[in-house]
Amino acid sequence: MTKILIIYTGGTIGMVNDPNNGMLIPFNFEQIKENVPELSRLDYELDVHSFNPVLDSSNMDPEIWKTLAELIYNRYDFYDGFVILHGSDTMAFTASALSFMLEDLGKAVILTGSQLPIGEIRTDAKENLITALEIAATKENGKSLFPEVCIYFDSQLFRGNRSIKYNSEKFEAFRSPNYPVLAEAGVHMQFNTNYVMKAPKDKLTLHTKFNSNIGVLKLYPGITPQAVTAITDSKVDAIILEAFGSGNTTTAQWFLDALRQAILSGKIIIDISQCKKGSVHLGRYETSRELLKMGIISGYDLTFESAVTKLMFVLGLGLPLEQSRKLMDESLRGELTKD
C-alpha cells in the first residue's frame, strides 16, 4: 500500500471553529480521516506528524526548515511521498529552502494549505489536501512522477522554488511567473512532465546549515546615500539588490561606489528584478553595465523567496568566496533559467 507522511506545521488549513467561543483553533490531525472522511476513499496508508505547538507561518525560520528537512530525511525510506501542511504566507520560502536542503530528492514533497479553514463550508482545504496527497502518491514505473519540492494550490502544481504568493484574498493564492505549472487538476489530472526535475541518480543528501546574515536593498527613485549605506556598510555577508526592470539601477557615482566597496569587503551581491515576471540581463543597458564590471551576480529570473533561501544555503556551505559566487550563478535545483 502507498504510504504518505503528512506533516502538519500549522496554518489556516488545520483550523476549525471552537463551538464554545467561535474562535479558530487547530484540530487534531491524528484524527484526520474523521475530519476529512473523503480520505478513506484513497487507498493510502497515512501517517501524521503534527508540530506541537503548531506555528503561524510568519514565525517560520531556518531552524524550523531544518526540522522539516530532517523529518523527511530520517523517514525517507519508509514513505512514498510527503505532504506538508503549511500557512500560505511563507510557504514559498519554505518550499524554496527545502529544495536546496534536500539534494537528489527522488520523491515528491508537496506543500499545501488553504485560504479558508477546513471546517468552513466553502473551504478550499479539502480539495488542496486530497489532490496534494494524490500527486505525492503518483508513480511511473515504480518511481515518483514528481521528484522535487512543490506547492499545490487551487488546482495547480508549481515548482516550489519558482513560486510566489501573490494574492491573500483569492483561492488562487500562488503563481509561478517564470516557469510553467507542473500539473493541473481539472476533470482530469494533466501532468506536464516535460517541466519536472529528472529523477536523481544519487542518494538523497541532507543540508541543514543556513547562514541568514543577508541584507536586502530595494531600490526606488530618490533613494538616499544613508539608506543605501545602511545596508552596504552593515556586517552582512551578502546582499540581495532588488533592481528595476532587467536589473537596472541608478548610475549615480555615490551609489556605484557604495556597491563596489561592499564587494571589495567580501560581500556577495546578487541582482534580482522587482518585476515578478522576466529576467535580469546585466550589461544590456548602460544602467547595469557597471554592475557587471564590478562583480555583481545576475539573479536571472529568481524569485525573491528563492534568492533569499539560496543565499542562506550557499553561505551555509562555508565555501571560499569564489565558489559561493559560482554556485549563485548556477541553477542548482531548477530555480533559475540562464539565457
Which residues are designated catalytic? Answer: 12
Q: Which residues pair with 25 in a beta bridge?
A: 16
172 burial class (0-12, 13-18, 19+ CB within 10 angstroms)?
middle
Closest alpha carbon to 162 in 287, 333, 44 = 333
CA distance 65 to 60: 8
Which residue in 112, 139, 125, 150 sits closest to 38, CA to CA? 125
| DSSP one-letter string for 208-267 | ------EEEEE--TT--HHHHHHHHTSS-SEEEEEEBTTTB----HHHHHHHHHHHHTT-
Q: What does the alpha-carbon distance between residue 206 and residue 223 come to, in Å, rounded to a whole number?
A: 41
CA distance 323 to 199: 26
Alpha-carbon distance of 199 to 227, in angstroms, equals 45
What are the grid coordinates assigned to 310, written together? 539560496
**Residues 261, 37: Cα–Cα separation, whole Å:** 60
> How many DSSP H helices and E strands does the chain contain?
9, 20
Query: Nearest 10 degrees: CA dihedral of 328, 97, 276, 106?
Result: 90
